[in-house]
Chain A
């Protein structure tokens, strides 16, 4: 097919090579071809790498003229096909829109290109005496623009809010045919909030402005072993409302520690002098960052933790590994997960339900997460499998729905939508909210070319009548088929 010969972009920034295009037909999650090929067109017709916002605009203008689907992609570190095309078309690899870091020290804001990773941004800010306010636990590869698209919540969100709270400006190109590069604020029309969690379905982000904070003068990290899940839940609830507010509160259950051990990593939490087997129930890490006085005062709230404090070197190790939770994938070789928002008040109940499910099915399931607000946690439950065994892997995929169902009973809902979580749209949005999202989509993307097939409507395969019995059937088979990985 004619690739992009009408697009005003240097030819070396466009490819139609089949092997190259294949690279853009997946994200973190492996999904067997039998679940993809018959239903979705994940292989893009071309991949385009714009080097400037103007080139993005040129591509979108042409795409609107041709009615060509466009899927923007940067770090591709999500796992719901958020950046994988499902109707072919063009993948817009925006990774060259990187850097351009410009700090306004008076306003304490930074302008940055969207494909800059959080790690790069924080590193550059540190050299100028500043720091980002919150960042994803995948900060080494997750990009600033990508996290905006995903309503980013993670490390530091408990203290400073998610990425949405930090945004002061967004530069975007809209798929409205005009192809203007627009600067959005909270007061503009459309407001920048529309692009938070829009997952690349409304336009392409080409610049971001965020508030930043002075580089913290001090920090302290504290690691606790908890003897039961109720203590864990109570402690997290109390810490998340404490003043001074911790920068982050991380927690992991005993299943996570077993997964770590299975993955080949030492879990140094079985200590001879501890009052109970530390690895039996769970871990809690509390970190404070800020002015020295704030960090010192922070230690006063540690008495609220109903657990045993582990040595400070272990706490520092855990902090230094905060971006490396994926290391437990070595327990697989594959790993599947359900990532959910969960009310902190229901955390103990959810962890208890997962533990019961693991015991009943004799499967290894690990859970970890972060408190991201006084009343909300972001929780990931994971279990090992092996994608090289297709039938067993399909059953394992179905089992994810059981974890989502447990979370739903505790007031939880999936984090991120993309393609695969459209199966849970009714849990994610009220009818009114969904109608509003669809109205925005119709207004800003009248041709429907931006990342089509995501977020707003489930495809046939993922409609409740198809998905629920299918997932239940497969998920029921997983305990028998997947026990070898537990």
Chain B
């Protein structure tokens, strides 16, 4: 992560943009779409036109949403613009002018109505616990605990990644930690709304989650979803000054360093995919690697594009909601590069990356499996 980026507002930064095109050469969606308007500098130009009063249509503004908010553009920007903030503000302007992709309004409506991105009954949020083999009597829900595990919508509701949530509670149990999940006291963190440009609408979700966490008296909140963690760091942290906000890999790194997680040997060759919101946007690169190194016998082969230069799975920034095909193209290209390492397993640390890369994996010839690091660790618990 860069130690410093700047944001003086959309109009100022759109003028400061040097139009150098550094962003263009790293943008994962521009690489697929190919038109200048889909490059980050093209999108900045589009916003400049919008702010200067050019008549633009929702079709034109689609370009702004053909972006995964992966943050790579911000990493290389020659004028150090905080482009993640720029895109979020630009999307807010787009929503204000009623030019956002129409599907996002429906997403907003059902998130606000139900408290989750799937539009399911939110009291089914902890339903995954019921399908575990040996759930505890309290179903991991306690009034008070020192750690709150904020599960997130994906791991709560999406059958393809619910096993990640199961894995984390097994690991926390194995380490003997005092933790709870929030059940229907948890609602969507608000990130999908923030990413859509609907920051104001996210506030009621933030208020509800804050109330649940405060009631638990927790001093640590742990996330398996990097996007939830980034959202909490950006929007919730000022309200929780004494609470640690950790990605699960950070907690696991602490536990493995303290030898509190005995792990069986595994002789697979794996590669690690840095999720954008955990690495570039979240600043966590070492913790997952420390966890992998703590697994006896495991071989980690790194992909060339890693850490700050990590690849994008295609699933961020609401892209899956607005352009699923583009999402899949990005995922396929990333899987191709990950598979080229020769590893049989791609390990990552994000439920959305698991979903996207698994989907991308179906489009390549190599037989590579995708696994969340929490699943891997839970599988290898030696207890």
Contacts and interface: CB of A to CB of B under 8 A. Distances in A.
A140 interface: yes
Interface stretch (A54-62, A102-110, A235-243, A326-334): A326-334
Interface in A1-53: 15, 19-20, 22-24, 26-28, 30, 47, 49
A166 interface: no
B78 A327 contact: yes
A396 B54 CA distance: 26
Residue among B15, B22, B34 with the most chain A CB within 10 A?
Answer: B22
B6 A330 contact: yes
By DSSP majority rule, is chain B's interface helix, strand, loop, or mixed?
loop
Interface string B251-282: 00000000000000000000000000000000
A329 B81 CA distance: 11
A134 interface: no
B15 A386 contact: yes
Given A127-B304, A330-B79, A20 B16 contact: no
Interface residues of B, number: 28
B80 A330 contact: yes
Interface in B60-98: 60, 76, 78-80
A141 B25 contact: yes
B20 A19 contact: no
Contact of B37 (A19, A77, A117, A120): A19
B383 interface: no
B379 interface: no
A387 B37 CA distance: 22
Nearest to A20: B37
A357 B20 CA distance: 28
A39 B6 CA distance: 37
Given A20-B37, A23-B42, A127-B304, A329 B18 contact: yes
Contacts of B60: 19
A157 interface: no
A75 B21 contact: yes
B113 interface: no
Contact of B22 (A20, A140, A265): A140
A324 B20 CA distance: 11
B336 interface: no
B12 A333 contact: yes
B21 A141 contact: yes
Contacts of B25: 75, 117, 119-120, 140-141
A459 interface: no
Interface string A378-418: 00000000111000000000000000000000000000000
B34 A326 contact: no
Interface string B1-28: 0001010000010011011111011000
Residue among B12, B16, B18, B304 with the most chain A CB within 10 A?
Answer: B18
Contacts of A24: 36
Nearest to A326: B78
Nearest to B23: A141
A330 B16 CA distance: 6
Contacts, number: 88
Interface string B288-326: 000000000000000010000000000000000000000
Contacts of A324: 78
A107 B56 CA distance: 53
A347 B54 CA distance: 46
Contacts of B45: 22-23, 26
A19 B55 CA distance: 10
B80 A332 contact: no
Contact of B21 (A49, A76, A334, A388): A76
A335 B19 CA distance: 12
Residue among B49, B56, B78 with the most chain A CB within 10 A?
Answer: B78
Given A19-B46, A140-B76, A93 B21 contact: no
A119 B309 CA distance: 13
A281 interface: no
Given A15-B35, A19-B46, A19-B49, A326 B6 contact: no
Nearest to B35: A20
Residue among A47, A95, A386 with the most chain B CB within 10 A?
Answer: A95
A47 B35 CA distance: 9
Given A140-B25, A330-B6, A23 B20 contact: no
A49 B35 contact: yes
Contact of B79 (A123, A327, A387): A327
Given A23-B42, A326-B20, A333 B15 contact: yes
A264 B12 CA distance: 14
Contacts of B18: 28, 326, 329, 335
A120 B76 CA distance: 13
A436 interface: no
A208 B296 CA distance: 47
A139 to B, nearest CB: 9
A327 B35 contact: no
Contacts of A141: 20-22, 24-25
A327 B21 contact: no
B263 to A, nearest CB: 32
A333 to B, nearest CB: 4
Interface string A130-152: 00000000101100000000000
B342 to A, nearest CB: 14
B34 to A, nearest CB: 6
Given A75-B25, A141-B25, A333-B12, 4 more contacts: A27-B19, A76-B19, A123-B304, A327-B78
15 contacts: A15-B35, A27-B19, A28-B20, A75-B24, A93-B34, A93-B36, A138-B20, A140-B22, A265-B4, A326-B78, A327-B78, A329-B16, A329-B78, A330-B6, A334-B15
Interface of B: 4, 6, 12, 15-16, 18-22, 24-25, 34-37, 42, 45-46, 49, 54, 56, 60, 76, 78-80, 304
Task: Name the 9 nearest CB pairs between A and B, nearest first.
Answer: A141-B21, A23-B36, A326-B78, A333-B15, A140-B22, A333-B16, A326-B18, A329-B79, A141-B22
